[in-house]
Structure 1
């Protein structure tokens, strides 16, 4: 555990980063804070001293301690971009980061990378860390964008400090930041349409709905059924949250596979390739084959889509392209002190990649 004065220091910093304490506002007295934190006044004094030395606070003789303005601690040209994604080292994220880095490094910028693990508390910690650094801008993938944003005050602090920022893959509905993303709704539509055109009339969908990507993919999946007049059975859609992704969809897949052949869904659309690959094992263990007994569609066209013996039909996510465009947009925001209206919502058309995991519905071959 960190020393007590460090804990006090970090708490005061969180007040500043969340705008609980505004620039020029006065802190409580050392006596009041020592009681609030249940520590000695010397501990409080040590924490305040470091914050003053680092430029977060300043003292006025006979009046007290106050929050410094941004100009007191920010250099004119930090040349550093904060990049926050839900994950960094796996799945599609290395390609996104590579696209961002390749462009920004050529322009003399450094990246400050962090990830949230799709956990709002970790997102808060990332934002606090970034707000403690001199930054030129922030590129961020929202955490659980399908739910209420508990870190709104930190984003408002970013705006109040006039730090350029943009979101990738999704956007919190309450924030008006520029956003670069794939058309997830259209992607979900294309996946279901592909199976319907192959003759499948009993489809199942698996969607993670604590982020907007999953919500929109599910919306497109439902829309395809409506367009083609295909009945969507109430128990055909499985929704789950990040914390449930390793168990709930697999459990539901096993239940679907245990149904009678005439009732079992013959085409599955999954939230992403990662889940699709895991479901392959469930299908094999049920003694069924892909695509003869069941067709499977992933999403993202990640490296996993071609890593198994059965190559996945999937929806392409423009990973590196999105990273490059994010870097370009960020540079425009920094250099032009704003962003172009066309960059407010840059939506990339999805592309269906057909491989071995989909085929005609059983009984429709020929």
Structure 2
């Protein structure tokens, strides 16, 4: 067994032995490197695996905590368990969404079980097989690659046959038409581009993720804003990427447009995370934000204010969505609402900071 696997198994055993109880902070990476006499890289790999498997979760700037996994070793209260399958657990906006869910569910006596797909269909299948083996009250899902045909739809139909309610957040599999909570991503993409247009920008680039429906809708809004304001879109300024292609596009096509004589004066990004990552390439090109380039993110995540460049961005109702999803799944469980009841669509708002300025 490799060293990181040994560390991983020891932490799992400590969780099962209740050395760490749900929501308790575990020792830091530095402390674990001393405890297990291994490198920080080894500890980090073990922790990342445990986070992806739902044994742990992390809170940005706070640390790593033991997740709720009572059903993995205890049968009492099994009918009060709700599972969450999301693309990611430990980073970006997901901890805040999860905190909102957990705070409401725990107050109602429900346990939240966490699973991560890493936006991969095979991992989603594994997560669904795992939850199907449990005596769950309900399931909350953030769809995997929601702009692609999903090979795992049969599992959701099996859930319906078993009478287990489920809902979806951020996106939805259109074939299933489930109850869902999502942002009006098209309007958000429109607001991004409209802000730059109103600031006098006429050569605007867009970088959008296209294996998730959110990115496709944001791109649609970006295009609509240009059409409504009669601003032409130069096709070479509209960049798309999939989950696996992000770094390749940032280092290739994105770097190329920054080097052009007719480079854009403004850029709309799929989200804050991509915008902050792109800042490195912008600096390497000898450009500064916002003097040379105005940029707009999406989600108003903690990253929007984490660097010296405070991002203009579109707000995502992270904690609120988590709470409302928890309320909705309990209502579905208790049959106080039906899956075909009107879903929730949040209206996005633009948050203006220092990363954009008048052209």
TM-score by length of 1: 0.76
Q: For 2:276 and 2:77, how far apart are their aligned partners in 1?
A: 48
Write the distance in 2 (CA, Å) between the matches of 1:77 and 1:335.
15
Distance of 1:124 and 1:165 partners within structure 2: 16
Counterpart-to-counterpart distance in 1, 2:250 and 2:283: 16
Q: 2:155 — aligned with what?
A: 154
Please provide the CA RMSD for this pair.
1.6
Partner of 2:13: none
State the partner residue of 2:334. 335
For 2:97 and 2:357, how far apart are their aligned partners in 1?
31
> Residue in 1 aligned with 2:230?
229
Structure 2: distance between partners of 1:246 and 1:280: 13
Q: CA deviation at 1:288?
A: 1.1
Matched residue of 1:325: which SS? helix
Pairing 1:289–2:288 present: yes
Residue number in structure 2 paired with 1:48? none
Mapped contact 2:85–2:114 kept (Cα < 8 A): yes
Residues 109-141 of structure 1 deviation map (CA, whole Å, 9 limit, x = unaligned)? 011110000000000000000000000000000
Three-state SS of the structure 2 residue aligned to 1:246 is helix
Aligned pairs for 1:161-200 (under 5 A) are 161-200=162-201
1:280 alignment partner in structure 2: 279
Note the 1:227-266 alignment, pairs <5 A: 227-260=228-261, 263-266=262-265
Offset of residue 265 of structure 1: 0.9
Q: Is the 8 A contact 1:238 1:249 kept in 2?
A: no
How far 1:345 moved relative to its partner?
2.2
**Is it true that 1:354 corresponds to 2:352 in the alignment?**
yes
Residue in 1 that maps onto 2:304:
305
CA contact under 8 A between 1:208 and 1:239: conserved in structure 2?
A: yes
Determine helix, strand or coil for the equivalent of 2:264.
coil
Give the match for residue 4 of structure 1: none
Cα distance change on mapping 1:340 and 1:175 into 2, 3 Å = closer
Q: CA deviation at 1:338?
A: 4.2
SS of the aligned residue for 2:278 comes to: helix
Instruction: Please show how residues 17-56 of structure 1 align to structure 2 within 5 Å.
Output: none
Give yes or no for contact 2:178–2:339 (8 Å, CA) kept in 1: no
SS of the equivalent of 2:83 reads: strand
Tell me by how many angstroms 1:250 deviates.
3.4
Offset at 1:289? 1.1
**Runs of 4+ deviating beyond 6 Å:** 74-77
1:25-57 per-residue CA deviation (whole Å, 9 max, x = no partner) reads: xxxxxxxxxxxxxxxxxxxxxxxxxxxxxxxxx
- Cα distance in structure 1, aligned partners of 2:109 and 2:209: 38
Task: Tell me, yes or no, if structure 1 residue 143 matches structure 2 residue 141.
Answer: no
- Aligned positions, number: 286
1: CA distance, partners of 2:321 / 2:251: 30
List runs of 5+ in structure 1 lacking aligned partners: 2-73, 362-366
Q: Which runs of 5+ in 2 are unaligned?
A: 2-74
Cα distance in 2, alignment partners of residues 154 and 75 from structure 1? 25
Task: Specify the SS of the correspondent of 1:247.
Answer: helix
Q: Distance in 2 between matches of 1:259 and 1:76?
A: 61
